[in-house]
Amino acid sequence: MCALISLLSVLPFTTPQYAVEVERDVVYAHVQGYWSHAPVGERGTFRHQAPLLRATRPLDLDLDIYLPADDDPSARRPLLLMMHGGSFFVGNKEEMGQAGWCEYFAKLGYVAVSVNYRLGFRPTRQDVAAAEDRALEDVDAALRFLLAREDLRIDPDHLFAAGTSAGAMLALRLAFREGEHPRIRAVGNFWGSVHDLKVLEAGRAAILSFQSPDDPVMPYGRGYPFRTGQHRFQPPTQWFSEEMYGTQAVHEEALRLGLRAEHHACPEARHRLHIADDGTYTDRFFEIRDRMAAFFAEEFRDLPSAPDRR
């Protein structure tokens, strides 16, 4: 803890110093899809959403932008793009975990953005894979939309992505894509995974990971989703999903490739580590928040000094 406090005292963008302004429900794309937000953990959600799978419909995709108020109007700002989880079926940009992290990073001086993306899939391997691809297309469109807004003063050399579960999968895929894309410097991979470790060869992003080895939803090493816990019934997810590689496997491969990486194995036998059953923040929420700030701040060491950023 003392080492973390010392680190935070010398690195930029690690000390809250701004009030926060929020632009809510900013539309960034018009697409065809099933839906773009749905409640998590509520009874009847699947029964309510399932009829919408009959056909796609026009959707307005939106995001919330958290901004540091009264910062230096000549300074460029780093960007944090935050994606919620929910198995590409449920979730929304206003979930308290993502919203809380975005508000904190805006206080540090970031433009922090929580994104809605297309959700929903039919129970086939092809459509499950397509749902992830659609979501990646959406968050890429959100990133480009934000970079095109000159009034946000985003520094294109300091882009960051983070997410939980399915959102972490998107953050990793956004950072490790082949071809010409805006470069993501570091990723917050919170109980996420990849389908193929070879994707990590396509980029140089640093990776910060948190997950429980006893996660009941996502594999910690290699495995199928929803088949990792000690439940009496395990759904046949191998019928519509390829094997996946969780945070431990991603971390080991990142180190092998020479990427900057940090991994935290958490003893809680939970999937969502940051939100308690009663809907409050856990201590892990604040630990992840502070480690993410310190980990991302390492990417600013090439700057002469934080106040002089232009």
pLDDT at 149: 98
Measure the CA–CA gap between 118 and 177, rounded to whole angstroms.
20
The answer to whether residue 1 is domain-embedded is no
The answer to whether residue 63 is domain-embedded is yes
Measure the CA–CA gap between 229 and 12, rounded to whole angstroms.
40
The span from the first CA to the last CA of the chain, in angstroms, equals 32
The answer to whether residue 270 is domain-embedded is yes
Q: Considering its fold, how many domains does the chain have in total?
A: 1
pLDDT at 301: 80
Domain hosting residue 107, numbered range: 19-302
pLDDT at 208: 98
Rounded to 10 deg, the angle between the 96-108 and 283-297 helix axes is: 40
Strand order in the sheet with 77-83: 19-33, 57-69, 111-115, 77-83, 154-164, 184-190, 206-211, 261-265
By CB neighbour count within 10 A (0-12 exposed, 13-18 middle, 19+ buried), where does 159 fall? buried
| Sequence-separated (6 or more) residues with CB below 8 Å from residue 225 | 87, 193, 217, 218, 219, 237, 241, 244
The answer to whether residue 5 is domain-embedded is no
Series of mean pLDDT values for 10-residue runs along the chain (310 residues): 49 91 98 90 66 90 97 95 94 96 98 97 84 96 98 97 97 93 96 96 97 93 72 51 89 98 96 93 97 96 47
pLDDT at 126: 85
**Amino acid found at 153:** R
pLDDT at 305: 46
pLDDT at 152: 98
Look up the CATH number of the domain holding residue 291. 3.40.50.1820
The answer to whether residue 110 is domain-embedded is yes
The answer to whether residue 13 is domain-embedded is no
Query: 260 is written with which tokens?
Result: 């900057």
**Amino acid found at 68:** P
pLDDT at 225: 75
The answer to whether residue 308 is domain-embedded is no
pLDDT at 304: 47
The answer to whether residue 255 is domain-embedded is yes
**Nearest CA-CA partner of 82 in 51, 45, 110, 124:** 110
pLDDT at 57: 94
Q: Where are the beta strands (DSSP E) in the chain?
A: 19-33, 57-69, 77-83, 111-115, 154-164, 184-190, 206-211, 222-223, 244-245, 261-265
